[in-house]
Amino acid sequence: NGGTTDDAQPEISGSAEAGSTVIISDNGVVIGSTVADAGGNWSFIPVPPLLNGDHEFTAKAQDPAGNVSDDSNSIGFELIAGGNATAPAITGAWDDVEAKTGMLHSGDVTNDARPELRGTAQAGETVIIVMDGKVQGSAVADANGQWSWTPAADLSEGKHNFRAELTDAAGNKTASGNFQLEIDVTAPDAADDVTAEDNVGPITGPILDGDTTDDSTPTFGGTGEPGDTVIVKDGDDVIGSTIV
């Protein structure tokens, strides 16, 4: 920790709860994620290569229920050679639309029609934002090499491919890798055919609306769109969720 390296794609590793998603940040900006294996071990190699300069990595784990841990201990070093000194990168996108907010990664689906793209470049450089092959705007990297860009208008539903580009005085272009987001702002259909089942005592079977039961943990069921998360409420209180 605190050393120097000429490896622009060092392998970062650690341990976390088996099956949890480990989110990796560099200088406070999310750059990717990986999944802990059955033994709780994980590893991550930055893509694209890191920029030359100082880097400080932290990791946090997120379980399938969406609970996120505190940051891990930090690992810091200075990249002094071999780094990609010119190519910009898209490191993530920020979703600030309820009900699920936070950092998005390439391939994610979001209901935020104006997600904020975030990335890195050399300090002071102007990054051109390209979406689906067309220039959409630009952003200037700050003194720390961080930039952000938000669409001026709502994006259409469906998948969109982003990249960040730089052009030098001679007209040569360097570009980030593709970063894909899927916009989905259409609410799912309401869950249908909701049922409750009594599995306790001498009388078991379906519980009809208005019935009484001695089963304090009845089984609820129903239908919905495959892949949707069904949130179960008792009055206004959320008591659980499941996936269709």
Calpha distance 120→79 (Å, rounded): 15
Q: State pTM to two decimals.
A: 0.53
Q: Does the fold of domain 89-183 match that of domain 3-79?
A: yes
pLDDT at 82: 56
**What does 163-174 look like in DSSP terms, one character per residue?**
EEEEE-TT--EE
> What's domain 3-79's superfamily in CATH?
Immunoglobulins (2.60.40.10)
Residue 14 structure tokens: 């650690």
| Cα–Cα nearest to 89, from 55, 118, 123 | 118
Evaluate whether 14 touches 24 at the Cβ level (below 8 Å). no
Three-state secondary-structure class, residue 35: strand
| Cα–Cα nearest to 92, from 179, 211, 202, 189 | 179
Calpha distance 75→56 (Å, rounded): 6
Q: What is the pLDDT of residues 40-57, one digit of tens each?
A: 999 998 877 787 778 999
Residue 214 structure tokens: 């001695």
Residues 6+ apart with CB under 8 A from 229: 241, 242, 243, 244
Calpha distance 26→22 (Å, rounded): 13
Calpha distance 15→39 (Å, rounded): 8
Quickly count: other Cβ atoms within 10 Å of residue 145's Cβ.
20
Pairing of strands 146-149, 116-120: antiparallel
pLDDT at 2: 73
User: Which CATH code, of 2.40.400.10, 3.40.50.11820, 3.30.2010.10, 2.60.40.10, is assigned to 89-183?
Assistant: 2.60.40.10
pLDDT at 118: 94
Residue 50 structure tokens: 């890191």
Three-state secondary-structure class, residue 12: strand
**CA 240 vs CA 28, 101, 225: distances in Å:** 33, 19, 18
Tell me: cis bond preceding 48? Omega within 30 of 0 counts: yes
Domain ranges of the chain: 3-79, 89-183, 192-243
Residue 148 structure tokens: 């952000």
Q: For the chain, which ranges sit under pLDDT 50?
A: none
